[in-house]
Amino acid sequence: MGMDFVVEVKKVEEEEEVESKYLKGVRYLCENNITRVPNKYILPLASRPEKGRKAAAAQTLKLPVIDLAKLRSPGCRLQVLETLAKACENYGFFQVVNHGIDGELVSRMASVGKRFFELPFEERVKYMTSDVRAPVRCGTSVNQVVDSVFYWRDFLKLTCRPLESVLPHWPSSPMDLREEAKSYAERSKSLFLELVEAILDSLGVGTGMLPEFEDGSHLMVVNCYPRCPEPNLTLGMPPHSDYGFLTLLLQDDVHGLQVQCEGEWVTVEPVPDSLVVNVGDHLEIFSNGRYKSVLHRVLVNSIKSRISIASLHSLPVDRMVSPSRNSSARATRGSTRIQTSPRSLTTCPPARPSRKTFWTPGS
Ligand SMILES: O=C(O)CCC(=O)C(=O)O
């Protein structure tokens, strides 16, 4: 065996060892006290967050507020529906207050989500799989199997339908995870149904579809963004839109979520006791482009880890989503049809975030 060959094999083995370390996730990496961002996470210059960072830091966005208490009050409902429609048309995002999910439950859910990522790696690895249909999936970046550059994020994905049959597959540690996540998932589903009823109302399409939503898909994603020694070189999540009808996002008090607004990245101001809600691709299609599924991304920082819990809701996975025939959900940019299959993200190159394009069959 030649010396060159031995050196080459050793190099490949070393590279494989380094790669497999990254597959263990950002938390694992951080537990080893790194002081620099490894090359694997360094985005190309044009995709890094510092481009326009000063402006973005100065620009925080107070999202339109939807007060559920007012939505429930017959005297105020119409006005709230108007605010809701404008928010979905102009921002694709809004903030819900008085949402009715008990504050204690929200805190317990956030706490158990955080504690899951504090478990020893040997416990978390039990749930690491590349099978996107698994009822529970732990991983890192966006899609660690295909990402050439990794994002500074670990995740735990819990399929929430049908709840009783997926529950035994959810992590048994921390001990309270199943109980808290089940309660939170149930409350999130109820809130989604209430919001989707309002959305259908605001579009003037009637609420005949509600039973379909009751049977709809529901995925809960706990995102963990550990402190990052060089946050200007990477992102927690790239610009993307969500696939579903609505996403209900619970974020802690750490800034990170940015929304694209008039071509600029603006940071969403976390508001205590509220949930951030955004329009997903399915709703954009259903409303024929009237409501916007807007690109968003996540910044990381060097001071504080961040946790968020996204609940993605839509119609059943085998249901075809197409534009509503009702005239008030009229076409503003053509239309398309899409299968509600479990595709998790629509991403685009971070440097050039663009609007998705729609077409009308026959146009
Ligand atoms: O962590 C966040 O603020 C956003 C998470 C997100 O965009 C997602 O899970 O799709």
Instruction: Find the 300 Cα to ligand 1 centroid distance in Å.
Output: 12
Q: What is the DSSP letter of 2?
A: -
Does 221 contact ligand 1 (Cβ within 6 A)? yes
Nearest-atom number in ligand 1 for the CA of 155 is 9
Are 313 and 216 in contact, with CB atoms under 8 Å apart?
A: yes
Instruction: Find the 3 Cα to ligand 1 centroid distance in Å.
Output: 49
Nearest-atom number in ligand 1 for the CA of 221 is 9
Instruction: Find the 239 Cα to ligand 1 centroid distance in Å.
Output: 10
CB atoms within 10 A of CB 149: 16
Query: In terms of DSSP H, where are the helices of the chain?
Result: 3-23, 26-31, 53-58, 68-71, 77-90, 103-118, 121-124, 163-166, 177-203, 210-214, 281-286
Does 242 contact ligand 1 (Cβ within 6 A)? yes
Are 224 and 114 in contact, with CB atoms under 8 Å apart?
A: yes
Nearest-atom number in ligand 1 for the CA of 344 is 10
Does 295 contact ligand 1 (Cβ within 6 A)? no
Angle among Cα 94, 96, 97 to the nearest 5 degrees reads: 145
d(Cα 38, Cα 29) in Å, to the nearest integer?
A: 10
State both tokens at 98: 């008085």
> If we measure between CA atoms, which residue out of 113, 46, 124 comes closest to residue 353?
46
Does 223 contact ligand 1 (Cβ within 6 A)? yes
- Look at ligand 1, atom 9, and give the residue with the nearest C-alpha: 310
Residue burial 162-177, b: 16+ Cβ < 10 Å; e: rest = ebeebbeebbeebeeb
Size of the chain, expressed as the number of residues it contains:
363
Q: In the block, which residue shows the tokens 């956030």?
A: 110
Does 309 contact ligand 1 (Cβ within 6 A)? no
Are 287 and 217 in contact, with CB atoms under 8 Å apart?
A: no
The reported pLDDT for the residue numbered 328 is 61
Instruction: Find the 248 Cα to ligand 1 centroid distance in Å.
Output: 10
The reported pLDDT for the residue numbered 16 is 60
Nearest-atom number in ligand 1 for the CA of 268 is 3
Q: For the chain, what is the radius of gyration of the CA atoms?
A: 21
Instruction: Find the 155 Cα to ligand 1 centroid distance in Å.
Output: 10
State both tokens at 10: 């050793």
Instruction: Find the 14 Cα to ligand 1 centroid distance in Å.
Output: 33
Does 296 contact ligand 1 (Cβ within 6 A)? yes
The reported pLDDT for the residue numbered 15 is 60
pLDDT of the chain, 363 residues: tens digit per residue: 676 766 666 665 566 666 678 889 999 999 888 899 999 999 999 999 976 555 545 588 889 999 999 999 999 999 999 999 999 999 999 999 999 999 999 999 999 999 999 999 999 999 999 888 899 999 999 988 889 999 999 999 999 999 999 999 999 999 999 999 999 999 999 999 999 999 999 999 999 999 999 999 999 999 999 999 999 999 999 999 999 999 999 999 999 999 999 888 999 999 999 999 999 999 999 999 999 999 999 999 999 999 999 999 999 999 999 999 875 655 444 434 444 443 333 333 333 334 454 433 332
Nearest-atom number in ligand 1 for the CA of 276 is 3
- Look at ligand 1, atom 10, and give the residue with the nearest C-alpha: 242
The reported pLDDT for the residue numbered 351 is 35
Q: φ, ψ for residue 238 (rounded to 5)? A: -75, 170
The reported pLDDT for the residue numbered 259 is 96
d(Cα 190, Cα 99) in Å, to the nearest integer?
A: 10
Q: Which of 218, 247, 248 to mutate to test the pocket of ligand 1 (most atoms within 8 A of CB)?
A: 247
Are 296 and 264 in contact, with CB atoms under 8 Å apart?
A: no
State both tokens at 86: 């404008």
> If we measure between CA atoms, which residue out of 225, 220, 218 comes closest to residue 252?
225
d(Cα 269, Cα 253) in Å, to the nearest integer?
A: 9
Q: Which of 152, 224, 259, 296 to mutate to test the pocket of ligand 1 (most atoms within 8 A of CB)?
A: 296
Instruction: Find the 137 Cα to ligand 1 centroid distance in Å.
Output: 16
Q: What is the DSSP letter of 41?
A: G
Are 285 and 338 in contact, with CB atoms under 8 Å apart?
A: yes
The reported pLDDT for the residue numbered 344 is 38
**264 forms bridges with which residues in the sheet?**
261
d(Cα 258, Cα 243) in Å, to the nearest integer?
A: 18
Instruction: Find the 361 Cα to ligand 1 centroid distance in Å.
Output: 32
